[in-house]
Chain A
């Protein structure tokens, strides 16, 4: 790694990782940087990095820095991670590799903070008990963001989201986490961001199937669940209500 790349990576690490900041203060050699970069970083008051790191955590939690208020969007998930406080949850997320996937400055094809947070939360040891809540909150946050703009800085990359003419829809399971987009939900909950409007409603399996049949890539179960004529009839009614 070149000297500048190493310097930049070290700076980034010190902004996002409280453990690295503690090591800079106590035992900088353990950070594995070259003597030059170590000297430059040791010349900075570690308190400056700490304050700036906290400002980043606050900005990410409130949405000021990436346009999504994670504390509000993932309220239930964060509560399930007790006894950690909301700031502590975000601080751990900020130090994770998933956080570094976010591309939210708007000049490049983006990767949303909601998706990064979802992937991070699903990978936690405690994931089993929070997986359902985090999936619902992730889909809701994503669709709300998509409904707020004609052209978002990110496109949903998860197969749960399916494109319709003027927006996106998703079908989840109210009882459990859906492991993939082909699994049949026990208690379908549908949500959408269509023509700038967010909606969310519990539906029957047949209605869920009809909704998904209105997309370009319906799951197999939606094709076998109802007949073509019934799907057309239901889809037409849903279209009239602005759901697809």
Chain B
């Protein structure tokens, strides 16, 4: 299927332009994974977000310059817009009028090398974009499903050149077909649920992918640290080699709760940011000229919508850091 062509980073070829079209600093945003049936999620019986999410948004939504939520399949439902619209309308109605929002996809499966027909995924996504006005679509470059089965955590693509060629085609097609800009996210690696195959460095792989597919990118700060950690880099070395990343193409930074447990890096999404994430975020804010915003991803909060105590100190540091950048 065909969509309206959305602006690519280079527009008509050549280098990425700084201060690109639509470039307004949105400041700090919030991103939430909202599984159906989870306390922080959508309520399948009522077809709306849970009371906990509603209370959190009532408390906190004015902290944020934008919001995204991650698509999760609704039980045994087919991928049909009518199965999702009422719940998404309810979420939209909880936001201040005009607050930009975006859609974190989980079905594009851009890192796969298998045959994967995305026609119905594009149709579904473009219908949502038309109906809800999502400003962009983001998805981690990863293998989200294999042979029709979802994986517990998106696996990094195979870091080999032959696979990169396929993934470039996947991203190019998605960028051309979606009717909102596509942001491809640096893949995550985390102990216990990822197996990394291939001998290319993920920084080089991702930069070549973004350039050849002419795509905007999202840098998840925890994913960057996770990759460096996996490669045996620690301390100051976690923050070097940033110029090997496609910084001019970067539209968004993500920060979700991470931790290092018994020497292993874990992408926990538990709301508690590491100091190293804030340090790297600060470096990236200085170096990404086309950045739209910084997303605090997957806050954790109780039934009254109050953020868990442990997450608050570094969340507030992030707020201040991004606040200084956004003015």
A contacts, CB < 8 Å to B: 3-5, 7-8, 11-12, 14-15, 40-41, 43-45, 48-49, 51-52, 55-56, 58-60, 64-68, 100, 102-108, 110-112, 145-146, 148-154
Contact = CB atoms under 8 A, between A and B. Distances in A.
B148 A103 contact: yes
Contacts of B158: 4, 7-8, 11, 40
A209 B291 CA distance: 67
B76 interface: yes
A64 B193 CA distance: 15
Contacts of B193: 51-52, 55
Interface string B146-158: 1111111101001
A202 B150 CA distance: 37
A11 B147 CA distance: 12
Contact of B75 (A59, A60, A149): A149
Contacts of A15: 146, 151, 195
- 5 nearest CB pairs, A to B: A103-B148, A145-B76, A106-B79, A48-B195, A149-B77
Given A40-B160, A153-B77, A8 B195 contact: no
Interface stretch (B4-12, B114-122, B232-240, B306-314): B114-122
B79 A150 contact: no
| Range for the number of chain B residues in contact with chain A | 35 or more
6 contacts: A7-B163, A52-B193, A66-B150, A102-B148, A106-B77, A107-B118
B74 interface: yes
Most interface-central of A55, A107, A110, A151 (chain B CB within 10 A): A107
Interface of B: 44, 73-80, 82-83, 107, 109, 113-114, 116-118, 120-121, 144-153, 155, 158, 160, 162-163, 166, 191-199
Interface of B is mostly: loop
Contacts of B145: 105
Contact of B107 (A107, A146, A150): A107
Given A4-B166, A59-B152, A52 B194 contact: yes
Contacts of B78: 106, 110, 149, 151-153
Given A67-B75, A105-B73, A106-B77, A11 B197 contact: yes
A49 B191 CA distance: 11
Contacts of A150: 77, 82-83
A12 B147 contact: yes
Contacts of B146: 8, 11-12, 15
B83 to A, nearest CB: 7
Contacts of B160: 7, 40
Given A7-B158, A55-B192, A149 B76 contact: yes
B152 A64 contact: yes
Contacts of B73: 67, 105-106, 153
A148 B76 contact: yes
A196 to B, nearest CB: 11
Nearest to B150: A65
Nearest to A147: B76
Contacts of A8: 113-114, 146, 158
Given A7-B163, A40-B198, A48-B196, A107 B120 contact: yes
B153 A55 contact: yes
